[in-house]
Amino acid sequence: MSTAPTRVIEIDNKKIYIFDDIADKDQIRRFSHSLEIANYSCIQANDISTKEHKEWVAGFDISDMEDHWLFRFCSKVTSDLRGSDYYCGTAFANAFSYGSIAFPHTDSGQSDDAEGDLTFLYFGNHEWDTKWGGELMLYDDQLEPLSCVGVKPGRLVCFAGDVIHKAGIPSRQCYSTRYTFSLRFYPSLT
């Protein structure tokens, strides 16, 4: 299995890796269905400063994911980028629809791109129209939006946990929910 990225973006000397077509249409459709029927809970968005705003999140048991094609692909990319001393510590899905709200945030406070956490964000819809929006926004360290990554079925984005990013909200033209699935890999403590 090739783990060569389709495209690489760099912001503040941090690389963002974009992988397209990492699965066939049947795998994409089946996983999309899994995300659609997942058990979502409405929780506080991002941090205490956004406590009035809620987001829909579904947790996944990592041990149930270890044989999944997406988990294996992300593990291989992690090994290629960071070495084998990493473990997956978090697996969850987000669901956003028109009218949702999202905020710029990081997934960790670590700033060492060579040694820190890795976030994998998979766009989980099996079909998506570019008119529907939902792009992932990427920011520099001064919160200036510098790039966005469009939603595309089968697309995976990988970046260091300290990259500032924000989920894009579907446009008014979109009657679908935007699903993403995240895996986070952390350096082993040993």
Q: Report pTM.
A: 0.91
**pLDDT band with cut points at 50, 70 and 90 for residue 96:** very high
| pLDDT given for residue 48 in this prediction | 52
Contact 170, 133 (CB under 8 A): yes
Better-scored residue on pLDDT, 133 or 100: 133
Averaged pLDDT, 73-96: 93
Dihedral over alpha carbons 81, 32, 166, 162 (to 10 degrees): -20
- Could you give the domains of the chain? 7-187 (2.60.120.620)
Residue 175 burial (CB count, 10 A): 9
Tokens 């992988």: give the residue. 19
Q: Mean pLDDT for the chain?
A: 90
Contact 169, 137 (CB under 8 A): no
pLDDT tens readout for residues 7-62: 999 999 999 999 999 999 999 999 999 999 999 888 765 555 555 666 788 989 99
Contact 80, 3 (CB under 8 A): yes
What is the rounded distance in angstroms from the CA atom of residue 159 to the CA atom of residue 92?
16
What is the rounded distance in angstroms from the CA atom of residue 121 to the CA atom of residue 139?
16
Strand 14-19 to strand 156-160: parallel, antiparallel, or no bridges (unpaired)? antiparallel
Half-sphere exposure of 179 (CA within 13 A, CB side): 23
Residue 184's contacts (CB-CB under 8 Å, 6 or more residues apart) are: 88, 89, 90, 91, 107, 108, 117, 118, 119, 120, 161
- Residue 189, pLDDT > 70, answer yes
Nearest to 31 by CA among 19, 23, 20: 23
Q: What is the CA radius of gyration of the chain?
A: 16
| pLDDT given for residue 30 in this prediction | 97
**pLDDT band with cut points at 50, 70 and 90 for residue 92:** very high
